[in-house]
């Protein structure tokens, strides 16, 4: 008999984000998790290449894996809108407990021989400095992904995300990580460009 874990992960595609906002294009947590993984991996690679001195080493592959699973608990909880999730410290702390309980429930669906491997992804040990540092990059990538969503909506003429964009951008700049600032300065401007502009810049 199957343990259902991977079938449950498949259902991440049915959990839509930005529930309180008018969207020109919906975004589910499968799509979001892939984008966060790509960005988090890039941040880890940028750290290794340009900002390793004085920082805790991180494994880019490990960072990407943590990013893939960072919202898996939302299969059971749904996506709680940010204004609600962070309304006050009490709600924020209570929701962390809900997320942890949901992750424990998902772990019960994992085959026993894989439990340890997936526990490390669904409930990462933040007391470990390397894991905590990897999760800092995942959090930064999560915010950058949210900012890109705001950019996409604004490019489509949707003013609904303008205030969210300003708030998210400010929170990203407040993160004291040089690799994050480098990504923002060097990579983010391209997301404002059209396909023609991106294609022309790639031509010889």
- Token pair listed for 57: 């080493």
- Exposed/middle/buried for residue 46 (C-beta within 10 Å: 0-12, 13-18, 19+): buried
pLDDT of res. 81 = 73
Q: Cα–Cα distance between 28 and 43 in angstroms, integer?
A: 23
Classified as helix, coil or strand, 16 is strand
Neighbours of 191 (CB within 10 A): 15
Best CA proximity match to 180, nearest among 44, 22, 20: 44
Outline where the chain has alpha helix (H): 5-10, 29-50, 60-68, 74-77, 82-85, 89-107, 115-122, 129-155, 162-173, 178-186, 195-202
Low-confidence ranges of the chain (pLDDT < 50): 1
CATH fourth-level superfamily of 5-192: Hypothetical protein af1432 (1.10.3210.10)
Whole-model pTM: value is: 0.92
pLDDT of res. 1 = 44
pLDDT of res. 2 = 57
pLDDT per position as a tens digit, 114-173: 999 999 999 999 999 999 999 999 999 999 999 999 999 999 999 999 999 999 999 999
């Amino acid at each position: 008999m199957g343990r259902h874990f991977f079938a449950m992960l498949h259902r991440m595609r049915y959990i839509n984000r930005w529930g309180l906002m008018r969207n020109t294009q919906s975004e589910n947590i499968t799509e979001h998790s892939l984008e966060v993984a790509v960005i988090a991996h890039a941040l880890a690679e940028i750290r290794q290449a340009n900002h390793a001195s004085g920082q805790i080493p991180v494994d880019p592959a490990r960072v990407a894996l943590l990013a893939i699973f960072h919202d898996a608990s939302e299969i059971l909880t749904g996506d709680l809108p940010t204004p609600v999730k962070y309304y006050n410290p009490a709600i924020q702390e209570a929701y962390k407990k809900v997320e942890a309980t949901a992750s424990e429930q998902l772990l019960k669906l994992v085959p026993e021989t894989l439990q340890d491997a997936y526990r490390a992804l669904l409930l990462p040990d933040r007391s470990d400095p390397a894991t905590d540092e990897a999760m800092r990059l995942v959090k930064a990538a999560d915010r950058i992904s949210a900012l890109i969503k705001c950019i996409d909506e604004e490019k489509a003429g949707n003013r609904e995300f303008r205030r969210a964009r300003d708030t998210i951008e400010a929170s990203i700049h407040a993160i004291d990580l040089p690799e994050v600032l480098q990504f923002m300065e060097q990579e983010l401007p391209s997301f404002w460009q059209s396909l023609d502009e991106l294609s022309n810049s790639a031509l010889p």
